[in-house]
Amino acid sequence: MDEDRADAPSGPSAAGPGRLSRLTHPAPVTAELDLPPETAARIAAAVPANTRRNWESRWRAFALWCLLTERNPLPASPETLAAYLDARTSVLPVPAHLRRAVGRTSYEPLTPSSLASHLGSLRAAHRMAGYVSPDPYLANLVIKARASQLAADPDAEVGIRQATPLRGRHLAAILDRIDTANPAGLRDRALLLLLYKTGRRGKEVAGLNLADVRDAESPDPDAPPLGLRVTFRTSKTNPHGLRRDDTVKVRRTGGTYCPYAAVRAWRLHLAGRGYTSGPLFPRLDRHGNLGAAAAGRGANDGRITPKTVHAIVRARAAAAGLVPESGYREGSDGLPVLVRITAHSTRRGFVTDAFTRPDADPEKIGRHAGFAPGSRTLYRYREIELGWDDDPTGDLLPS
């Protein structure tokens, strides 16, 4: 009876070829690989949660496109990958009858760097499902053609969207506005100072446990601690914790903006509430509940998420007047400059400030902040602060 209704949806559906059940992930590892369940579970657990979410999100869009174009998503041919990436250079609409299953009405066009990320995820999904990864040659040609097209468009925005650095002077202005008479203020002050002083990513600082942050005792038993030894069990360059020597020293500076004092104050607050193990930065809701008892989404152990770190950094920067309503500030040359405050802003600020020191050592800066050896990104962070006085031509021409 329902099949004869005039408003019944037409076109591909969950019941047809390329079923919507494959919009979440190509296949469980156990379904395609001849592995014991315990081994399959361990392999799946080796993929970081954020990477897994990216894979699933990207696979969902790819599987939808394959469903609409009647192509096979798994295993996909090199031609299918190239055609999909070409389709993602423009808006990909989601048919009305599939929007509830997909959770959106359309997919926005992708930049060349995002196209490359999607290609990597789709090839990885093939390997995880037991298939040979499709040859990326044709897909890479599509990405290069798209990049060339944007470079030739005078109205297209070019360059990498980077976070605005929060330098030391900015961080001081933020900290001055934080009320440490409440638990959220104590937590956020310690969090911001650790983000800046370690130069680490928001996810890495959110992943710290109380046991990972220890006092560095002075050789003089009567002297106060030298500072903190902060051990990062995992990081972007060490996602599986295979390297055990990733410890950063954070010096005790004393004064208003001492990271040691801020972390100590936060830890004393936690200890006073009987919280002596687990995440260094647990969730904290408006009712004062801590960790897993606090409202909000996140890990089962109750720690804050990278999104929470981003929200804290942005909210505290806005409260200090560092996020203009227009989204732009006036640059030194009088032209508008986009302000983009994220959890990465403290990392960029650390690198920028570190390079201003006369004794700046790129190797030490990179190791401290967890950059891969020889990272070009480290130098790109430095370049953002090049000013008019850095013109290499100087006064080579007569005035």
Tokens for 221? 């038993």
> What is the span of the domain harbouring residue 137?
12-152
250 shares a domain with 131: no
351 shares a domain with 272: yes
| Average of per-residue pLDDT across 62-67 | 90
Asked if residue 42 has pLDDT above 90, the reply is: no
| Average of per-residue pLDDT across 341-347 | 91
CATH number at residue 46: 1.10.150.130
Quick: pLDDT tens for 241-278.
777 778 999 999 988 999 999 999 999 999 999 998 99
Quick: pLDDT tens for 68-123.
999 988 889 999 999 999 999 999 999 988 888 878 899 999 989 899 999 999 99
Contacts (Cβ under 8 Å, ≥6 apart) of 392: none
pLDDT, residue 157, reads: 62
Reported pTM: 0.72
218 shares a domain with 170: yes
Confidence label for 8 from pLDDT (cuts 50, 70 and 90): very low
| Average of per-residue pLDDT across 170-186 | 94
Distance from chain centroid for Cα 348: 13
From CA 74, how far away is CA 52, in angstroms rounded? 18
Asked if residue 5 has pLDDT above 50, the reply is: no
Confidence label for 214 from pLDDT (cuts 50, 70 and 90): very high
54 shares a domain with 142: yes
pLDDT, residue 26, reads: 46
Lowest-pLDDT choice from 9-18, 35-44, 65-74, 357-366 = 9-18
From CA 68, how far away is CA 331, in angstroms rounded? 47
Confidence label for 48 from pLDDT (cuts 50, 70 and 90): confident
Whether 340 maps to a domain, the answer reads yes
Distance from chain centroid for Cα 234: 14
Domain end call among 107, 122, 152:
152
pLDDT, residue 391, reads: 62
Lowest-pLDDT choice from 21-35, 126-140, 256-270 = 21-35
190 shares a domain with 139: no
CA distances to 26, 39, 43, 139, 279 from 55, rounded to whole Å, are 10, 20, 15, 18, 27
Whether 97 maps to a domain, the answer reads yes
How many other C-beta atoms can be found within 10 angstroms of the C-beta atom of residue 348?
23
182 shares a domain with 124: no
Whether 122 maps to a domain, the answer reads yes
256 shares a domain with 131: no
CA angle (85 as vertex; 83, 88 as ends), nearest 5: 110
Whether 1 maps to a domain, the answer reads no
Q: What is the largest CA-CA distance in the chain?
A: 88
Whether 393 maps to a domain, the answer reads no
Counting residues of the chain whose pLDDT is more than 70, the rounded percentage is 83
CATH number at residue 252: 1.10.443.10
Structural domains in the chain (count): 2
Whether 304 maps to a domain, the answer reads yes
Lowest-pLDDT choice from 8-12, 40-44, 296-300 = 8-12
42 shares a domain with 16: yes
How many other C-beta atoms can be found within 10 angstroms of the C-beta atom of residue 91?
10
pLDDT, residue 7, reads: 37
208 shares a domain with 320: yes
Domain end call among 134, 152, 170:
152
282 shares a domain with 229: yes
pLDDT, residue 163, reads: 84
Lowest-pLDDT choice from 39-43, 62-66, 369-373 = 39-43
Whether 190 maps to a domain, the answer reads yes
Quick: pLDDT tens for 317-333.
999 998 877 677 766 56
353 shares a domain with 229: yes
Q: Residue 309 in contact with residue 301, Cβ under 8 Å?
A: no
CA quadruple 387, 174, 353, 248: dihedral, nearest 10: -160
190 shares a domain with 101: no
From CA 33, how far away is CA 224, in angstroms rounded? 57
Domain end call among 128, 152, 176:
152
Whether 297 maps to a domain, the answer reads yes
